[in-house]
């Protein structure tokens, strides 16, 4: 089932959280001379139009990046990625995670991205045409496991599913565990939503409780925010980062302080 389209949600507060951390980590990893591998299991289309009908329909970008942009100084890697896509594609352009990676990776780094939805895959292929990253139309978990451990060994894998089906809460931790086993030095970044509003607790909690003991070195970072609209269940954004780079905790603290003021 591939009904989820990230265009409705691009630039929301969960994206701000995920993309700011991703840009910071990639910038940190590429500040050292050694090459890196970047893998993404659920890539999306890479480039979004926040003036488009999808963004207008949900208003999530208006309550997200439009409201939080001044949190990030111009030199922050996330602000730099946003400025770069705006310079090229206009003021309403917004970079998805593959575009943030494309803008940060250097010659000699490697990038492999999976996207299963045909239209999203086509749009991603077009958006990334100027860069040598490989775009795969296949299951992202299969792709990541087929590459792990990649060469170069230093690197990052972003796991960013849409969590539409309950089954994800079983398959995604299994994938994370297997990837960590196959690629113990790899930085893994798993995004998950914090869901409120129903009788049962948010399903991320038992998933993480079961997963975390199998991870050697991992940090969890969660931020909460008001729901995008009445009845919307997403009340926050979570990241589980395996093998967090040195200095990340300061970036996470600064983000926590920003989100706490919303």
Query: What is the side-by-side strand order in the sheet with 218-224?
Result: 134-136, 110-114, 37-40, 155-159, 187-195, 234-242, 218-224
Binding of ligand SAM at residue 119 (CB under 6 A)?
Answer: no
Candidate list 60, 112, 120, 251; residue touching ligand SAM; CB under 6 A: 120
Is 180 a known ligand-binding residue?
no
Report in angstroms how near the CB of residue 141 gets to ligand SAM at its nearest.
6
Name the residue among 130, 121, 122, 125 with its Cα closest to residue 103: 130
Of the candidate residues 60, 109, 112, 115, the single one contacting ligand SAM (CB under 6 A):
115
- Which of the stretches 52-60, 109-117, 178-186, 229-237 binds ligand SAM when contact is defined by CB under 6 A? 109-117
Q: Which residues face 193 on adjacent strands?
A: 237
In the list 116, 122, 210, 219, the residue contacting ligand SAM (rule: CB under 6 A) is 116
The answer to the question of whether 19 is labelled as a binding residue is yes
139 is in an annotated binding site: yes
Least separation in angstroms between CB 188 and ligand SAM = 14
Helix boundaries (H) for the chain: 13-29, 53-58, 65-68, 77-89, 97-104, 118-127, 140-147, 168-182, 204-211, 248-260
Q: Is 221 annotated as a binding residue?
A: no
Beta bridge partner(s), residue 72: none
- Catalytic annotation on 15? no
Q: How far is the CB of 2 from ligand SAM (least distance, A)?
A: 5
Q: Does 4 bind ligand SAM (CB under 6 A)?
A: yes
Unique residue bearing structure tokens 């999808």: 54
Could you tell me which residues come within 8 angstroms of residue 161 by beta carbon, excluding any fewer than 6 positions away?
41, 42, 140, 168, 172
Segment contacting ligand SAM by CB under 6 A, of 27-35, 36-44, 71-79, 174-182: 36-44
Separation of alpha carbons 183 and 151, rounded Å: 11
Please state whether 139 falls in left (phi above 0), alpha (psi between -120 and 50) or beta.
beta
> Using an 8 Å Cβ cutoff, are 100 and 16 in contact?
no
215 in helix, strand or coil? coil
Q: Which parts of 143-182 interact with ligand SAM (CB under 6 A)?
A: 160, 162
Given the residues 112, 160, 168, 196, the one annotated as active site: 160
CA distance 105 to 112: 12
- CB closer to ligand SAM out of 3 and 216: 3
Considering only residues 26, 29, 36, 43, which one is a binding residue for ligand SAM as defined by CB under 6 A? 43
Q: Is 97 in the site for ligand SAM (CB under 6 A)?
A: yes
CB of 120 vs ligand SAM, minimal distance in Å: 4
Cα distances (Å, whole numbers) of residue 205 to 50, 74, 212, 241, 245: 32, 35, 11, 15, 24
The count of other CB atoms within 10 Å of the CB of residue 41 is: 25
Which of 114, 133, 228, 239 lies at the binding interface for ligand SAM (CB under 6 A)? 114
Residues that bind ligand SAM (CB under 6 A): 2, 4, 6, 18, 42-44, 96-97, 114-117, 120, 139-140, 160, 162
Please list the active-site residues: 160
Annotated binding site for S-adenosyl-L-methionine: 19, 42, 97, 115, 139-140, 160
């Amino acid at each position: 089932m591939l009904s989820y389209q990230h265009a409705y949600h691009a630039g929301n507060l969960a994206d701000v959280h995920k993309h700011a951390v991703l840009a910071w980590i990639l910038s940190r990893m590429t500040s050292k001379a050694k090459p890196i591998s970047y893998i993404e299991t659920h890539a999306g289309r890479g480039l979004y139009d926040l003036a488009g009908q999808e963004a207008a329909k949900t208003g999530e970008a208006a309550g997200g990046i439009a409201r939080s942009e001044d949190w990030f100084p111009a030199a922050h890697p996330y602000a730099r990625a946003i400025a770069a896509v705006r310079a090229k594609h206009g003021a309403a352009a917004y970079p998805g995670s593959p575009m943030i990676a494309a803008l940060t990776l250097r010659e000699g780094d490697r990038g492999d991205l999976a996207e299963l939805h045909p239209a999203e895959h086509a749009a991603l292929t077009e958006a990334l045409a100027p860069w040598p990253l490989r775009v795969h139309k296949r299951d992202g978990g299969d792709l990541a496991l087929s590459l792990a451990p990649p060469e170069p060994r230093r690197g990052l894998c972003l796991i960013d599913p849409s969590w539409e089906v309950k089954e994800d809460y079983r398959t995604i931790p299994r994938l994370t565990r297997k990837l960590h086993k196959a690629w113990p030095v790899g930085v893994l970044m798993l995004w998950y939503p914090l869901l409120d509003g129903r009788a049962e607790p948010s399903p991320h909690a038992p998933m993480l409780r079961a997963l975390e003991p199998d991870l050697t070195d991992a940090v969890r970072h969660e931020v909460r925010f008001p729901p995008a609209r009445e009845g919307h269940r997403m009340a926050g954004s979570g990241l589980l980062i395996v093998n967090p780079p040195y200095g990340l905790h300061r970036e996470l603290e600064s983000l926590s302080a920003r989100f706490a003021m919303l």
